[in-house]
Amino acid sequence: MTPSHTAAIPAQPAGLSAGLTFVMAAACGLIAANLYYAQPLAGPIAESIGLPVHATGLIVTLTQIGYGLGLLFLVPLGDLVENRRLILTMIGVVTLALIAAGLSTTPGPFLAASLAIGLGAVAVQMIVPFAAGLAPDHARGKVVGNVMSGLMVGIMLARPVSSFIAQFASWHAVFFLSAAVMVGLATVLATQLPRRAPSTRLGYFGLIGSMGRLLVSQPVLQRRAAYQAFQFSSFSLFWTVTPLYLAGPAFGLSQTGIALFALAGVAGAIASPIAGRLADRGLARPATAFGLLSGVAGYLITHIAPDGSAIALALLTLAAILIDFGVTMTLVTGQRAIYGLGADLRSRLNGLFMAIFFTGGAIGSAVGAWAFAEGGWSLASMIGGALPLTAFIVFLTERRSR
C-alpha cells in the first residue's frame, strides 16, 4: 500500500446530518446534469453555430474529454486543498463555462466552453469523497448511496429536461438557466458545507505521481474499477443505441416519446441507497453480483417479444430500469469499498476509479453506435449483455475477504 502522507482535519465530529446529505446529493445531481444537457440538442446547436454536420459529435465529446481530464488532474486536489473552497471554485468554472456556451454564436467559443463545462463538472467527484469523509464508518455506505442517488437522478433527468426546455425556448436558455442554478447552488454550499483542510507534505506533482503507485498497489481499486468500466460501458451503449432503436421503423417514437422512455430509467436510481445500506451490513459481494446480473438480464428480456410490439416496448422500458439499477448498485458498492482504503487517499482513489470507468463508458458509446449501424439491436444488445457478463465472470475469481 502507498504510504499515508495526509491526515484530514475532521470537519464535523458528529458525522453528517440528513439535511446536509440532501444538499450534497442535490448538488451532485445539478452539477452532473451539465455534462448531458447538450446531448439531445447537438443537432440544433451545430446548425445554429455553423458547426459542420460531421463535427457535431465534438459537442458531446469535448465535454467528456474535459471531464476525464478533470478526474485525473483536478479531483486529486481534494487530498491537498481545503475542500469547500475547491468545490466552490469548480462550480465557478462551470458557471462561467455555461454562460460562455449560451452566448456562443460560432463553433470555436462553444467548443471551448464545452471543454470547460466538463472540467468544472468534476466538482461532483469532489463532493462524494467529501461526504464519505464526513460520515461515520458504520454509515459510510448509506451516505455514499444517498449522495450518489442525487447524482444518478441528475444524469438521467438531464436529457429529457433539456429537450423539454428547448421545445419552449432556444437551446441558449438551457445553458443560461443552468448557470443561474449553479449560482444559487454555490450560495447554498458556501453556507452549508463545513471546512475540510487536508494536511499534506506532497506537492501537486507528487500528488499526481502517487496515483500511478496507488493503481498498481491497490487490488480492490483495480477490481472495482474494472467491474464498473464494464458496467458503465454497457450502460452507455444502451443509452446511445435505444434512442436510435426507438426512433426507427420498429417503434417510430417521437422525441417526446423517447424523452418519456428516458424518464423511466430514473427509477434505477433507487439502487443507490439500497446498495449503500447493503455494503454497510457487509453484503457488498451479493449486492455486486446482483448488480452485474441485472445488467445481463436487462438485455436478455428485450428479445422475448417481437420488435415494435407493445410488449417489446414495455420490456425495453423494464430493461432500462434493470440496467440503470445494476450500474448504480455496483457504482455505490465500488465507492464504498475504495473509500475504506484510507481517508487520506479518497480523492485520488475516486479520481482513478471514475476516470477508468468513464473511459469504459466512452468506449461503450462508440461501440454501440457502430454495432447498431452494422447489425441493429440484435448485435448491439448482444455486446451490451456480454459486458456485465464478462465483469461477473471476473467477479467470480475474487477471493472472499477474511
pLDDT reported for residue 190: 96
pLDDT reported for residue 323: 94
Query: Matching CATH topology for 10-199 and 209-402?
Result: yes
Question: CA quadruple 202, 228, 324, 336: dihedral positive or negative?
Answer: negative
pLDDT reported for residue 400: 61
Grid coordinates in use for 340?
Answer: 475504506
Grid coordinates in use for 143?
Answer: 451516505
CB-based contact 280:132 (threshold 8 Å): no
Q: What is the pTM of this model?
A: 0.82
pLDDT reported for residue 385: 96
Exposed/middle/buried for residue 288 (C-beta within 10 Å: 0-12, 13-18, 19+):
buried
Distances in whole angstroms, Cα of residue 233 to Cα of each of 160, 323, 324, 372: 21, 11, 12, 15
- Rounded to 5 degrees, φ, ψ at 199 are -110, 115
CB-based contact 190:85 (threshold 8 Å): no
Query: Which among 312, 294, 265 is positioned nearest to 384, based on CA atoms?
Result: 294
Give per-residue burial for 39-60: e unless 16+ CB within 10 Å, then b: bbbbeebbebbebeeeeeebbb
pLDDT reported for residue 359: 87
Q: What topology is assigned to 209-402 in CATH?
A: Growth Hormone; Chain: A; (1.20.1250)
Predicted confidence (pLDDT) per residue in 351-365, tens digit: 899 889 888 888 888
Residues with pLDDT less than 70, the chain: 1-15, 199-200, 400-402
pLDDT reported for residue 393: 96
pLDDT reported for residue 199: 67
Specify the amino acid at residue 48: S
The domains of the chain are located at: 10-199, 209-402
Mapped onto helix, strand or coil, the DSSP state of residue 79 is: helix
Question: CA quadruple 389, 364, 323, 66: dihedral positive or negative?
Answer: positive
pLDDT reported for residue 182: 98
Architecture per CATH, domain 10-199, reads as: Up-down Bundle (1.20)
